[in-house]
Amino acid sequence: MTGEQQTRLLERLLKGEQQAFKELVDTYQGAMRAVAYAIVGSRHADEAVQDAWLAVVRNLKGFEQRSSLKTWLLTITANAAKTRYKQNRREVLLDDLPGPHGTIGDERFATDGHWLQGPAAWHEDTPEALLSREQMRECLEHTLLSLSELQRSVLLLRERQGLELEQICNLLDISLSNVRVLLHRARLKVFATLEHFEETGQC
Amino acid sequence: MLSCKQLVARSSDYLDKQLTLGERLMVRQHLLFCSHCRRFLKQMRVAQATVRALPEEPVVDSQALAERLARELKDS
């Protein structure tokens, strides 16, 4: 959303235009949910997002556009989620659960660090082609669900929501090095799933 | 010289531009000579794009939520 589009949307929101709120919700709810999910987990994410929306409405008049609308909404969401979770804040769990198709681990390399067998070419190498098969989509969803909540959240915030690593650190209160580790482990498991599916034609 | 295993370990940082200039040059140099790792990185990018393209769960009832928020704004 450009600055100009954002300003226009804000004007309509402040007038209480319902359609403007619908656009706001449709555009940002996904990202807000992903942030809430990362902080409070699946059980309380929806409640945290509800809290966040109410806080957004309460603070809309005071929003001075010093940050982008998206950043502002996600900061409010993170705060709402943290408030909900104050009693027992989650520790940063770097737990690495095994992926359904493993990862790209040590067993792929010789002792000198070379590939034992390099990655094979994929039949399909565009997202559209890969996702055109329903079984592949389901397989990938399954892998995403097998990740720890934090690992999955970080992956989705980065790839799907396009946040910078720094933004993820700030929203989730985790260090840059932890974000990097979480992201890398998640990506390798996704990679292993795509590779497995390409090789065997099944999940 | 970076090994393939080390390149894979740094691949996310490479894609996210988190490497120092020196590390980045080492990765580039390795890629010049290693078709396996070139393919690996290309497939990593495809994997990233595939996650991005995966359809998001739609908002269940955005209309009702929008109505409620518009009302809240008027009441505030």
- HEC sequence for B28-66: HHHHHHCHHHHHHHHHHHHHHHHHHHCCCCCCCCHHHHH
Question: In this structure, what token pair is assigned to residue A2?
Answer: 């450009």
What CATH number does the domain containing A76 carry?
1.10.1740.10
**Predicted structure pTM score:** 0.88
A52, A112: one domain: no
- For residue A196, which amino acid is it? H
Question: In this structure, what token pair is assigned to residue A69?
Answer: 């609308």
Interface of A with B in 90-149 (CB under 8 A): 104, 106, 108-109, 112-115, 118-119, 121-122, 125-128, 130-131, 137, 140-141, 144
Question: In this structure, what token pair is assigned to residue B57?
Answer: 């769960």
Domain end position, chosen among A49, A84, A119: A84
Contacts of A34 (CB under 8 A, 6+ apart): A153, A156, A157, A160, A161
Q: What is the DSSP string of A77-96?
A: HHHHHHHHTSTTPPP-----
Q: Residue A99 domain-assigned? A: no
A18 CA: distance to closest CA in chain B (Å)? 6
A10 CA: distance to closest CA in chain B (Å)? 13
Contact A192, A99 (CB under 8 A): yes
Contact A22 B6 (CB under 8 A): no
Structural domain tally of chain A? 2
Can you tell me which residue has the tokens 């929501």? A161
Crossing angle for the helix pair B35-53 and B21-33, to the nearest 10 degrees: 110
The rounded percent of chain B whose pLDDT value lies above 70 is 100
Nearest CB among B16, B37, B56 relative to A160 is that of B56
CA-nearest of A121, A186, A124, A107 to B38 is A121
Contact A48, A39 (CB under 8 A): yes
Residue A160 touches partner B, C-beta closer than 8 Å: yes
Which regions of chain B are under pLDDT 50?
none
The β-bridge partners of A109 are: A115
Q: Residue A89 domain-assigned? A: no
- A-chain residues within 8 Å CB-CB of B39? 118-119, 121
Interface of A with B in 163-202 (CB under 8 A): 165, 176, 180, 183-184, 187-188, 190-191, 194-195
- pLDDT (tens place) for every residue of chain A, 203 residues total: 888 899 999 999 999 999 999 999 999 999 999 999 988 888 888 999 999 999 999 999 999 888 999 999 999 999 999 988 765 555 666 778 889 999 999 999 999 999 999 999 998 889 999 999 899 999 999 999 999 888 999 999 999 999 999 999 999 999 999 999 999 999 999 999 999 999 999 99
Domain housing A56: 3-84
Contact A160, A35 (CB under 8 A): no
- Distance, CA of A23 to CA of A192 (rounded, Å): 37
How much is the mean pLDDT over chain B? 94
Q: Residue A77 domain-assigned? A: yes
- Distance, CA of A181 to CA of B61 (rounded, Å): 35
Q: What confidence score (pLDDT) does residue A57 get?
A: 95
Q: Residue A142 domain-assigned? A: yes
Contacts of A176 (CB under 8 A, 6+ apart): A165, A166, A169, B18
Q: What confidence score (pLDDT) does residue A135 get?
A: 93
Question: In this structure, what token pair is assigned to residue A9?
Answer: 């949307």
**B13-52 burial, b if ≥16 CB within 10 A, otherwise e?**
bbbbebeeeeeeebbeebbeebeebebbbebbebbbbbbe
